[in-house]
Amino acid sequence: MKFNIQYSIFNIQHSTRRGFTLVEMIIYIAFFAVLSVLAVNATIMVMKSFYTLRLNQSVNQSATVALERLSREIRNAYDIDTANSTLGSSPGRLTLNTKDSVGANTTMEFYMDASSQLRLKEGGVEKGALVTKSVTLTNLVFLSISMTNSKAVKVEMTLHDSRATTTQAVKFYDTIVLRGSVH
């Protein structure tokens, strides 16, 4: 007995035309659109993460440089010039009495300028900014701490950086003892 596939219930007709049907094209386009949206969103997320990382690096590097210089100069100072300092409020100003490289008395002054940059004056001469141009200070407070045998300075500062739609603000604190103030 011969079985003829042409008349069976499993009759599948094959088209001799080549190409895609309209339904197949719509499915492929929808699949491509979904993949494209996912790829674009992933790229945007990576770029935002990159900008955030760059801002963190910028703020942390500026804080490291500024706090290291503040720490070094405060440690080397023998007294705080309270008459020329603004202590306990922002924007603060810290004037230190210290010795220069040849042993003569001089002053070191840390302050925030009109463009919100942390700046340094040595002996009344401007030495420049201690943070990068893109980083600004939104808070700078110096507190004097006096103990029976020594003095210390507590530094509070908030650094801010912003690029495009991403911003970063971080608070930093440090307390430094004036080594020259020990009696």
Distant-in-sequence, close-in-space partners of 122: CB < 8 Å, separation ≥ 6: 100, 106, 107, 108, 109
Give the pLDDT band (50/70/90) at residue 183.
very low
Do 107 and 80 form a contact (C-beta atoms < 8 A)?
no
How far apart CA 113 and CA 77 sit, in angstroms, is 23
Give the pLDDT band (50/70/90) at residue 111.
very high
In this model, does residue 160 exceed pLDDT 80? yes
- Model pLDDT, residue 39: 95
- Model pLDDT, residue 14: 57
In this model, does residue 121 exceed pLDDT 80? yes
Cα of 59 vs its chain's centroid, Å: 3
Give the pLDDT band (50/70/90) at residue 140.
very high
Distant-in-sequence, close-in-space partners of 135: CB < 8 Å, separation ≥ 6: 58, 59, 62, 159, 160, 161
Strand partners, 171: 158
How far apart CA 149 and CA 173 sit, in angstroms, is 23
Distant-in-sequence, close-in-space partners of 137: CB < 8 Å, separation ≥ 6: 91, 112, 116, 117, 118, 131, 157, 158, 159, 160
Distant-in-sequence, close-in-space partners of 48: CB < 8 Å, separation ≥ 6: 166
Do 75 and 179 form a contact (C-beta atoms < 8 A)?
yes
The predicted model gives 58-69 an average pLDDT of: 92
pLDDT digits (tens, 9 = 90+) for 129-139: 998 888 989 99
Phi, psi of 83 (to 5 degrees): -65, -35
Q: Hey, where are the domains in the chain?
A: 38-181
Which strands form 125-129's sheet, in the order they lie side by side? 79-80, 93-99, 105-112, 118-122, 125-129
How far apart CA 160 and CA 163 sit, in angstroms, is 10
* Percent above pLDDT 70 for the chain: 89
Give the pLDDT band (50/70/90) at residue 141.
very high
Considering only residues 101 and 181, tell me which one the structure prediction assigns the higher pLDDT: 101
The predicted model gives 114-136 an average pLDDT of: 90
pLDDT digits (tens, 9 = 90+) for 2-59: 555 555 555 555 556 677 788 888 999 999 999 999 999 999 999 888 888 988 898 9
